[in-house]
Amino acid sequence: MSLTADPTAGVQGFPGRDELEELLFSMLPSGWWEAVQSSDEAALQLLKSGLHNPDIVAQLGSAGWVAPHYDVEHGGRGLSRDDARSALSLLALWEVPHVPRGSGLPLAAPTIQQWSNNETKRRLLPPLLTGTERWCQLFSEPGAGSDMASLATTAVRDGDEWVVNGQKVWTTFGHEAERAMLIARTDPAAPKHAGITYFGLDMRARGVEVRQLVNIAGQVEFNEVFLTDVRVSDCDRISPVGDGWKAAMTTLGAERHALSGVRKKRKSSDEILGGKAFPEVLRIAQQRGLTGDDRVRQVLMAAFTADRILGWTAQRARDRARSGQPVGPEGSITKISKAMTNQRLQEIAMGLLGADAIAWDAADVEANEWIVQFLRTRANSIEGGTSEIQRNIVGERVLGLPREPDPYQGVAWRDVPRS
């Protein structure tokens, strides 16, 4: 195998780089580095198939490399943001799995970092960063979806604990999680936004019941969660009492960003939003001899253009984050755009498949996968905040349009009529 130049040579030096590279050589199978150097994707995929990703993530997390900019006592290495970016760039160039499963790292960790005291950070962050505790999100309720601040799950203080009662729904991978981001009402006498507190709930605690829901594609992904006299230590309280809504906005901002990014180099079925990527849809058109059809070419070019514009907008958001600027309107804008473009692309695929999208051989795994991915993407305009709500956010917070009138603004939550 002929080797090219070191692809990581352009990564800026950072404290502990030699230590990290030694750790990688000790963890990864023989031939990994050679495959990275030579850009041998086939060899790398074969090596990846033999990895147990959680073990790799656990070792990197234990050594502080999953979030190297976090303090050492919180599971990081205490690096500056620039040095941390260099370390994470190195891991990306090595194509090493370094993100714990679940929503802990992208959603819970930034919220804990911003809102929690040191004791809570020391308690919750290290097992999150090693993947020992996988996180899910307990925000939505049967009566509090789009208007999430009207939530009715309660948390009543009892000494050094809180007693939680209520119901949550649409909890992604709640059946596999050890921890949950939970928002609950702690002051029913306050207006709805002011009486909420944010907790890190132990999903293994007594009184937590998880019931699985099957989605339209036949996948077990969502859950409803029932909370009956669940006791939560005050040490697991992530936000100050009554500031849970503000903390939740940190999480939701991160979620919109996560749900609006461009695809990584991986299978479409692993994409967070589901659906097939543009090259795969183009391949179907080519295989079926449809690329000479002017109408097909037009819809494919429109889809390609939308995908490129989305990628540039997402890159702008990433650049803001890298420069230390606060999250801008790009999160909501790209969330709407991603849902539209992803759904439209799958609709194009169904048109290209024609009758094969309606009836196919049960043994045809590939055809079944196309349909499953199409069905999965129907949720794109709902999950993480509906596209209608995101348009309201853009209108009010970006364009400065007047807010919708709320006749109960400032009224105590317990005095607001509910159906």
**How far is 98 from 375, CA to CA, in rounded Å?**
29
Amino acid at 336: I
Which tokens belong to 238?
């992530």
**CA 87, CA 56: separation in Å to the nearest integer?**
16
E strands within 45-195?
135-138, 154-158, 161-168, 179-185
Catalytic residue annotation:
255
Give the residue from 233, 229, 254, 217 showing the smallest Cα distance to 139.
254
Alpha carbon distance 254, 273 (integer Å): 15
DSSP 205: S
In angstroms, the CA 95 to CA 33 distance is 10
- List, in sequence order, every beta strand (DSSP E) within 125-233: 135-138, 154-158, 161-168, 179-185, 196-202, 208-214, 220-233
Helix (H) or strand (E) holding 122: helix 118-129
Q: CB–CB of 376/219 below 8 Å?
A: yes
3-state secondary structure 368-381: HHHHHHHHHHHHCC
- 3-state DSSP assignment of residue 224: strand
Question: What's CA 2's distance to the chain center, in Å?
Answer: 38
